[in-house]
Amino acid sequence: MTAVTLLIGGAYLAWVFHERANPGMVGHGKADEAGTLSKDDLVVMKEYFPQHFDDLQRLEGTTVWMKNGYSMAYFPYVGGRVDFTKKVGLVPPLERLEIKKIVKALAPAAVHDGIEPGGMQALAVFTRAGGKETYATPVGVILHGEEGYYTDMLFFYDDPHTIYDYWPRDVWTAIDAHQVKPGMSELETRLALGSKVHVDGDREGDRTVTYDVNGKKWDVTYVKNRATEIKAE
C-alpha cells in the first residue's frame, strides 16, 4: 500500500494506514513526556478508513470541511467531466464542501494536483457553501492495482466548530478569518493557515513553523504550544 502516495506533505499518511484496521470514532491523543493529554488530544472524531472506491459512496450527499488547507487543487466540473486544464486554486482550510458525488478520472501527466501521477484518480465533486458551480478535488488514486484513499486525512466529517467547541470565540474568529494571533496552538494555527508547512524542529509545540498560505509565507514560533512570535515574509 505504501506504493500509493499522497503528495501533500505526509503529515498524516503513515498514521492513516496504521489506523485503517480500527474504523469508527477515533481519538487522536498522544501523551507528552509527562504522560498527560490535552483536551485537543482527547477529541474523538468520525473516520471511515475507505479501502475501495465503493467505500467513498457514503460521502455523496454529505457536508465535509477541509482539514488540510492549501494542499489540494480543485478544478471545474462541467458536463460530467473534470476540466484539468483550468485549475481554480487550492482548497482553503476549513472550506465547507457539499459533496455531490465521487467520480473517477485520469489526470493528464502534466497536472500536479496533489496526487501521485500515472493512475486513475478518485475525485470528490462538490459545491462550495452557498454556491452552485461544481468543482472536483482528488481524494485518492488507483495505481498499479493498488488503491489509496485519503478522505479521512483531508476532511472533517463534522463541523470543526462543534468538534472543538471549547476553543475561545476570539480564536475561532481568527481561524475563520485565516489569521493567526499570539497564544494560538499549532493545531489552531494549522486550521487557520493550512497544512502546507516547513517545520524547524521535531517537537510539536516547541519549534518554528513556516506556513505557505497560498503563496504567502508566515513564520510562527511556538513555546509550550503557544504562538509567541509571528512574522509575515
Whether 36 maps to a domain, the answer reads yes
Between residues 107 and 156, the one the model is more confident about:
156
pLDDT computed for residue 225 by the predictor: 96
- In the numeric block, the cell 485520469 is attached to 106
Distance CA 124, CA 130 (A): 17
Average pLDDT over residues 123-144: 94
Whether 23 maps to a domain, the answer reads yes
Distance CA 48, CA 96 (A): 19
Set of cell numbers at residue 65: 470541511
| Same-domain status, 95 and 145 | yes
pLDDT computed for residue 21 by the predictor: 34
> Residue 226 — pLDDT band, cuts 50, 70, 90?
very high
| Same-domain status, 132 and 183 | no
Q: Print the domain residue range for 98.
A: 13-156
Cα–Cα distance list, 79 to 86, 171, 177 (Å): 14, 41, 33
Q: Is the pLDDT of residue 24 over 70?
A: no
| Same-domain status, 122 and 45 | yes
Quickly list H helices, 72-140.
Answer: none
